Structure 1
Amino acid sequence: MRGRAEAWLHRGRSLGPGLLVATMVAMAAAFLGSHYKGSMLLFALLLGMALGFLGDDARCRPGIQFAGSSVLRIGVALLGLRLTVEHVAALGWGTVLALAVAVLATMACALLLARVLGIHRSFGVLAGGATAICGASAALAIASVLPRREGLDRDTTLTVVGVTTLSTLAMILYPVLSTWLGFDATTAGRFIGATIHDVAQVVGAGYALSEAAGDAATITKLMRVALLLPTLLLVALLVRSREAGLARRAPLLPWFAVAFGLLVLVNSSGLVPATAQALAGTASQAALVVAIAAVGLKTSLREVATLGWRPVLLLVLVTVWLAALAAAYLRFGA
């Protein structure tokens, strides 16, 4: 018992400095996000990158790595308490199927563009998943199940910056676009929920139109978040088929994805109090902000700058592709 306590104490001392740095960056990002009404995730990433020299410090490195992996997985798992089976019923199975097809089509488009533009396929997976599902959260979750390679953290950083920036632009442009397309309030909300990357921007854009549009946007977006679980399973299967050695070491589905699915089922039972749901939502957001601060701390601005224009073009094209798919379905197929 004493030996175990000493081991935990040693681990705490090892992780403490890096965790503290990532948490302080996250707190600063939360202040900036609330004060300037911006994305906390983007602020956390940029602040972390500005303090990237701390990521090279031997005392901070273990804790920063822990924040970017284990803390991230806890945050993704807790997202499950934002969803219930009733969200599926509210949308209708036709819309759910359409969203699933859009996710697959968007990821396929991103992979094709990555090949055409000469970019590593893992960036295509990251960009496609982040665009199709839930922005920065999806990028971080998918990165955690991809094979580790040099440049993965850099690609993840650029994906997060790109989808967050595009999501903010979409929050401004898509309500205008939905009006121009002649959508009613509910259809406009479904368009916004099906296309904007991050949850916060979906909520902002939807309720900026009307309460009905905001409700429809939020439910549609939550269904896209639910598709994170099958997407992670698909990516894990592809990884296992391509990386035989990795397949022997890694589980088919990571524990946090299983926890995500179980929490959705628990939340659907109606036994989870609203207070617990709110606390889980806050804890999930906090964990994700700490995790993305850690990603920033591990990323070199110089490395990101060397990527050039091709990844940026890929993100823009995939975003436009998803918007076109959603608009066509809601205009002609719904």
Structure 2
Amino acid sequence: MKKIKGVIFCAFFALIAYFICCCEFCRSINLNSLTLAIIVGMIIGNVFHKFIPETFKDGISFSAKRLLRLAIILYGFRITFQQIFAVGFQGFWADAFMLTSTYLIGYYLGTRIFKLDKDLCMLTAIGSSVCGAAAVLGTDSMLKADSHKVSLAVSTVVLFGTISMFLYPILANLGIVPAEAFGIYIGSTVHEVAQVVAAGSAVSPQVCDTSVIVKLTRVMMLVPYLFLLGFYLSKKSHTKRTKVPMPWFAILFVVMCGFNSLNILPAVVKSGIIEFDVFLLTVAMFGLGVETNFEKIKGLGMKPILLAGIMFLWLVVAGAVTAKLIV
């Protein structure tokens, strides 16, 4: 019960962000409730933090972590196995290569060249390589990193993902990547699902459909990554019992994908679940924003932004080459 006040606090502002982003203007500039919620949360957490009662803090932390897991599970209602199989091996291999290479480059450069904290490198690399904020938050549920590191990783996703929404339609007009491969290009390289939809729809409906399916396949790859991360963390702990932390939320995410593939639920019910999931993610993002401390982020310097920028450049260039070769 002591968490309820903080949860209501987060839900209240998340609801405001959710309804604001339903307006035509926000849709026209591709501003979603997750982005707005974390921005508002950061402002409140840093400018007005003195006015937040101490009794709210447990609920805010609960919203940023526990509610997030439920949101990731429900995210499975956006994906079907049929959609994944329809893309074929071309999309799968493009996803697998770009995910693996981007993550390894980000982690190596971050730890060896920029000398950044390992947790921050993991979070930033997974955000760029898999599925943006959801991947960052899913990874953090196992790493249990400091909130400011999570927020910084999410911020890089927002920054470079927003740039990609405007960049990719320009690249489509330049003809650098063939039209039939452009959906794979977008889906295998752009950070967030919403950003993929925005970039793809600006090119053509066909490109948008392909890019979303390729992106959702990439989202599914978060599950084996979390298992590998759990195994790594268990080895790192040097305990006698090398028990791998079980990412049950990730397993249930796959179960929800399978259930959604059966197409049992009426469209109106599924639509309602997806909207509720968006709201839960918005609550989690607001809670995360409130827990973010700008002073700690300032102490990290520009290195994390530069690291994310290098990964973004790799996604754009290597993704174009991969899409051209694979189709």
Tell me the TM-score normalised to structure 2 length: 0.91
Pick from 226, 238, 262 the counterpart of residue 232 of structure 1. 226
Deviation at 1:253, TM superposition (A): 2.2
Whether the 8 Å contact between 2:94 and 2:326 is mirrored in structure 1 is: no
Summarize the alignment of residues 167-186 of structure 1 with structure 2, pairs less than 5 Å apart: 167-186=161-180
Partner-residue secondary structure (3-state), 1:270: coil
- Unaligned regions of 5+ residues in structure 2, if any? none
Where in structure 1 do 4 or more consecutive aligned residues deviate above 6 Å? none
Partner of 1:329: 322
Whether the 8 Å contact between 1:170 and 1:196 is mirrored in structure 2 is: yes
Pairing 1:163–2:154 present:
no
Counterpart Cα distance in 2 of 1:55 and 1:110: 38
Pick from 314, 324, 327 the counterpart of residue 307 of structure 2. 314
Counterpart Cα distance in 1 of 2:124 and 2:51: 25
Counterpart Cα distance in 2 of 1:32 and 1:170: 23
Deviation at 1:110, TM superposition (A): 0.9
Pick from 205, 211, 217 the counterpart of residue 211 of structure 2. 217
Counterpart Cα distance in 2 of 1:331 and 1:93: 15
Deviation at 1:65, TM superposition (A): 1.3
RMSD across aligned C-alpha pairs, in angstroms?
Answer: 2.0
Counterpart Cα distance in 1 of 2:82 and 2:240: 37
Q: Cα gap change, 1:190/1:55 in structure 2, threshold over 3 Å: closer, same or farther?
A: farther
Partner of 1:17: 5
Amino acid across the alignment from 2:98 = A
- Unaligned regions of 5+ residues in structure 1, if any? 1-10
Counterpart Cα distance in 1 of 2:217 and 2:103: 17
Whether the 8 Å contact between 2:103 and 2:126 is mirrored in structure 1 is: yes
Amino acid across the alignment from 1:78 = L
Counterpart Cα distance in 2 of 1:214 and 1:15: 41
Whether the 8 Å contact between 2:172 and 2:179 is mirrored in structure 1 is: no
Q: Cα gap change, 1:306/1:219 in structure 2, threshold over 3 Å: closer, same or farther?
A: same
Amino acid across the alignment from 2:91 = T
Deviation at 1:58, TM superposition (A): 2.1
Counterpart Cα distance in 2 of 1:28 and 1:245: 46
Per-residue CA deviations over 1:185-240 (Å, capped at 9, x if unaligned) read: 44222211111111111111111111111111111111111111112112112111
Partner-residue secondary structure (3-state), 2:300: coil
Deviation at 1:251, TM superposition (A): 5.3
Partner of 1:194: 188
Number of corresponding residues = 318
Counterpart Cα distance in 2 of 1:265 and 1:281: 15
Partner of 1:57: 53
Deviation at 1:323, TM superposition (A): 2.1
Aligned residues with identical type, % of pairs: 28
Amino acid across the alignment from 2:162 = T
Pick from 224, 249, 255 the counterpart of residue 248 of structure 2. 255
Tell me the TM-score normalised to structure 1 length: 0.89
Partner of 1:3: none
Partner of 1:6: none
Counterpart Cα distance in 2 of 1:55 and 1:128: 35
Partner of 2:16: 28
